[in-house]
Structure 1
Amino acid sequence: MFAIKCLLPNITKPIAIKTITTTATLNGSLKPPQKLTTLLGISTDRTQTIPLETSLKYLKSKAYKQTYGEDPVWVPYRRNHKGAIPPRKTRKTCIRGGHISTGNPCPICRDEYLVLHENNTALLNQFISPQTGAILSYKQTGLCQKKHQELQVAIAKARDIGTITFDVPFRKYNYADYYKE
């Protein structure tokens, strides 16, 4: 336990951590087995709803820039599956009973401060193709099916209220090249 705290003293909120059961020793006394996430003070509880304002502040914060950099939130994510061929669909949901139920949750479920809402355009634009304006598939982004459905609903609402727009570039053609006079 002491070695873990020495290695990770300033962690406030990691992206992902594997749940490991360990026996903590303090001054030579054995304690009952505990999960590593509880020893480090990391919560997998997702019953609290984070307000939209907090999510918007988080997207502009230094912690977000340090975690994701300039890339979209789904770029550093790698799906975890057995075998060489990935399954056709991603998992149905990462959160069951208010807690993260898997060791490798999707990019939205792993970070509790990423809230899918129609006014959170900075996050929604990360899941829209810049060339076509279409929503990226869950195979490409790695989202669970539940969060992908919420993403589709949030983007549809955002397009309806006008916070997200997609303008097709205007192309000027010289029709004299195609039609002979």
Structure 2
Amino acid sequence: MSFIRVGLQIFGTASRKSLQKVTSVRSISQNFCRRQEVQEQQAEGNEIEGTESNIHSDSDRSKPIPVEIGIKYMKSDAYKETYGLEPIWKKYRRNYKGQFAPPKTRKTCVRQGFIATSNPCPICRDEYLVLDYRNTDLLYQFISPYNGEIIDWNKTGLCQRQHLNLLVAIHKARDFGTISFDVPFRQYDYSEWCNSEVAFSDSKENK
């Protein structure tokens, strides 16, 4: 019984630490968003609403953040203070049960509009990281600078839902031209085309 009790205490401590990390990221991003709302309201001459009505719980993801705010957040001091110059997934570590990691990341971190885990993926833990084809500063963090390929989820730690959203956003950005990429060079064997053309002309003459 003592061994089980010690194991539960260690697990509870790790869960609380992970929740504190999520809360700290959330609080920094909320302060950024709150400053933006206050500045917009002051510019329009409206009365500033209370902070309690604008700030939601730490796990609430029911209200999507506009991509314009996400782009401003990527260039703000709050983002630099939280992540620095490294990609957002660089210092992320998965939390899994047992000695060996599961073959895939979880399907999703958000269920019914709320975070359903104590260790959400790098995108789900900060709601102001918006995956969109216009938010190129965030998309470039998931593209390898060496070969231009999209970094796999087993390295970034994204859940399957956010990784699918990432693929859609990157392919859409390439279609719209917001992200540049090199088309791979393809070597053609023109002798095959010439031989088929000659064979076609010979068969036509025989007829």
The aligned residue for residue 141 of structure 1 is: 156
Deviations 1:82-128 (A, max 9, x none): 22211110000000010000000000000010000000000000000
8 Å Cα contact 2:109-2:159 kept in structure 1: yes
In 2, the alpha carbon distance for the partners of 1:14 and 1:126 equals: 22
Say what the alpha-carbon RMSD is for the aligned residues. Answer: 2.2
Aligned counterpart for 1:45 among listed residues 39, 60, 75: 60
CA distance in 2, matches of 1:169, 1:91: 33
Structure 1 residue 63 and structure 2 residue 63: aligned?
no
TM-score, structure 2 length as denominator? 0.62
- Residues 1:122 and 1:58: Cα distance change in structure 2 (over 3 Å): same
Residue of structure 1 equivalent to 2:172 = 157
Identify, as 1 or 2, the structure richer in strand: 1
Checking the alignment, whether the CA contact within 8 Å between 2:107 and 2:160 is kept in structure 1 is yes
1:165 offset after TM fit, Å? 1.0
Alpha-carbon separation, structure 2, partners of 1:46 and 1:67 = 20
Contact 2:26/2:58 (<8 A) preserved? no
Rg larger in 1 or in 2? 2
Structure 2 portions without partners, runs of 5+: 1-22, 28-55, 186-207
Q: Which runs of 5+ in 1 are unaligned?
A: 1-12, 18-40, 171-181
What is the match of residue 119 of structure 1?
134
SS of match in other structure, 2:24? coil
> How far apart, CA to CA, are the structure 2 residues paired with 1:16 and 1:157?
28
Task: Give aligned pairs, total.
Answer: 136
TM-score (norm 1): 0.70
